[in-house]
Copies of this chain bind each other. A is one copy, B any other.
Amino acid sequence: MTNIKEIAKRAGVSPSTASRALSGKGYVSEEKKRRVLAVAEEFDYAPNLNALSLKTGITRRLGLVAPAFIESVSLFTGGFVRAAEENGYTVTLFMTGSDVFKELEALEALRRKQVDALVFVMFQSELSVIAGYTKYGPIVSWQRIVHENVPSVFMNQYDGYMIALEHLYAQGYRRICNIYGAPIRLNTQSRMEAFQDFCRKYDLDPNACPSFDNMGNTRHGEQMVRWWLENGRIPDAFATTNDRVAAGMVAEARRLGLQIPEDFAVCGFDNLDFADMLDLTTIHYPVNEQAGNAFSIIRNRIEHIDLPLRPLKFHLVQRSTT
């Protein structure tokens, strides 16, 4: 391989001078500079990034840690990689499958200087474990958490859920059934608060209709429809955990010959790819921009600057299920 010494020799200068010529830092006579550049060009010189990383202690590589690369994680990844590449950073993937040990490997990669910083899309580890690694480089989380040294780019789902509820109300639906995810998650708790406040605002009985916990996938949506058909009068509308649950409900309803939104309305959450195909009303939020903010936080810490973060909002995408 042609290294800088080789170039220096062929140009008849010392490596120091060659380095200065190539990097443009420090004094070099016009003539030698020209010669070095010409030789570098001729011999197709490209600096070895590992040498550079070793010398400077900076890799310009960021690690993205996620359980898998599906759905909105892919979106986030795309947004993060774009932001990173635009600023001369590169992104290295760590796929954990929600395995704590794999998460630890990503953290170790930070310690061993394989990457300058990490962004956790989601994690299972104790927050304190992750925070313990911040001394080796910035760590940011997409998952909603509260910790002094580990900033999170989450959005408060209170607002998003409220938009969904207000929309259902505006469409005339009054008996609304909530289908929630895991109650332990802060996002779920925010949604519950939103519902309480919503009922108070419009003077509705929050217990008029039972709500459901720990629902998250298509099968759950299907079950939901069947449960209601067997156990009483179906609600006017459903506010759901996410688009998967909503999709399951729509599919099952169609199979059973029910009309949506006539027999019942459904609002999803996330605005995943397939929501469009299924013509699903849903709540959209800008995953791309969240990823951009995650990158900005990291860059701020690494380069000691102070880029502003973009303020982010939920919005309703109305389609034919409400």
Contact = CB atoms under 8 A, between A and B. Distances in A.
Interface stretch (A22-30, A31-39, A69-77, A152-160): A69-77
Interface in A33-87: 46-51, 53-54, 59, 61, 68-71, 74-75, 77-78, 81-82, 85
Q: How many copies does the complex hold?
A: 2
Given A54-B50, A247-B277, A277-B251, A90 B68 contact: no
Which range contains the number of A residues in contact with the other chain?
35 or more
Interface string A306-320: 000000000000000
Contacts of A51: 54
B53 A50 contact: yes
Contacts of A82: 95
Nearest to A92: B92
Interface in A79-135: 81-82, 85, 90-95, 102, 108-109, 111-114
A218 interface: yes
Interface class of chain A by DSSP: helix
A279 interface: yes
A93 B95 contact: no
Contacts of A90: 92-94, 109, 114
Contacts of A94: 85, 90
Nearest to A251: B277
A224 interface: no
A273 interface: yes
What 8 pairs between A and B have smallest CB-CB spacing? A274-B274, A50-B53, A74-B74, A50-B54, A69-B78, A69-B74, A81-B95, A92-B92
